[in-house]
Amino acid sequence: MTDGSRGRTGGDGDRPMTRRGLLGALAAAGAGGLAGCLDGGQRSVAAPSGRAAGTFARRYDVGVDGTRSRVTVEIGEDAYAAARERERSFSRAVGVARDSATLGRITAQLSRRYDTRAARVAAAQAFAAGITYARDVSSTGRDEYVRYPVETLVEDAGDCEDLAVVLAGLLTHLGIRTGLVVPRGHCAVLAARADLPASVLADDPLTVSLDGVEYVYVEAVERHPPGEWARDYGEQALLAAYRGRWYPLEVGALAEEFVAAVEEGHLRAAVQFVE
């Protein structure tokens, strides 16, 4: 951590919090708006269109530095159906995104169109932010529904954690170490500072240190310089980070969320986030 009050540290040196406590805290965060990080996005998702010969096709316009490129995404109907049948799990969705051949093909297209690392990072951010934001309760009828990347792409819809999972996967395929971070009522990406071009970073970027590695906060719902919050969201307490395992970041805030979860009966809402 190098940015004073703008940095957060997580890891084994923090005051321990039990798995049950973390579950409760994240449950409260989810019930309070983790699935609806920015107010609005009341879009209902209809059956995906564009299906032909067992394939869904989506086209996204990506703008970087005044230039626009079209990215084509094709996903097999069987792959989409398999994703729909998967058990809902935040950690599994993150792992699937990391290894996703579909996201790999998207980054390959972006890499052919943009020849600098800075432009490719910006293009990945623009791609993720171009996906239609939709709250889970509006798009699925559920208070919380973690989408796998192919679901988000085929449906052209997702909330903050769905878009963060997609962006983390894209950045991973660009060779950037990534994680996820959960502020109160939100979800965003962490990207290793050493893997990002200095030219793309915000002034005085918000960072998180996990196991001695400094990560920069990256929004997925809107395109901002890495290290800067979404303008309509504002700074909130960073509750926890995920990179292969959960890291409590602000134990006091987590404890408050845990108490709220118990009082409001939402303890089961975040099982898919911590399993």
| Domain spans, the chain | 4-274
Residue 42 has a pLDDT of 38
CA distance 135 to 84: 17
Residue 239 has a pLDDT of 84
Q: Write the single-letter amino acid at 164.
A: A
SS3 call for 59? strand
> Phi and psi dihedrals of 254, rounded to 5?
-65, -40
Residue 186 has a pLDDT of 85
Residue 65 has a pLDDT of 86
User: Is 180 within 8 Å of 148 (Cβ atoms)?
Assistant: no
DSSP, res 173: H
Length, in residues, of the chain: 275
pTM: 0.81
Residue 141 has a pLDDT of 47
Residue 50 has a pLDDT of 52
User: Is 31 within 8 Å of 264 (Cβ atoms)?
Assistant: yes
Residue 53 has a pLDDT of 62
Closest of 175, 40, 127, 200 to residue 217, by C-alpha: 200
Residue 270 has a pLDDT of 46
Contacts of 34 (CB under 8 A, 6+ apart): 26, 144, 160, 161, 182, 185, 186, 187, 270
Give the chain's residues under pLDDT 50.
Answer: 1-5, 12-17, 30-36, 38-47, 137-139, 141, 266-273
End-to-end Cα spacing for the chain: 28
Residue 133 has a pLDDT of 86
SS3 call for 268? helix
158, β-bridge pairs:
133
Residue 175 has a pLDDT of 98
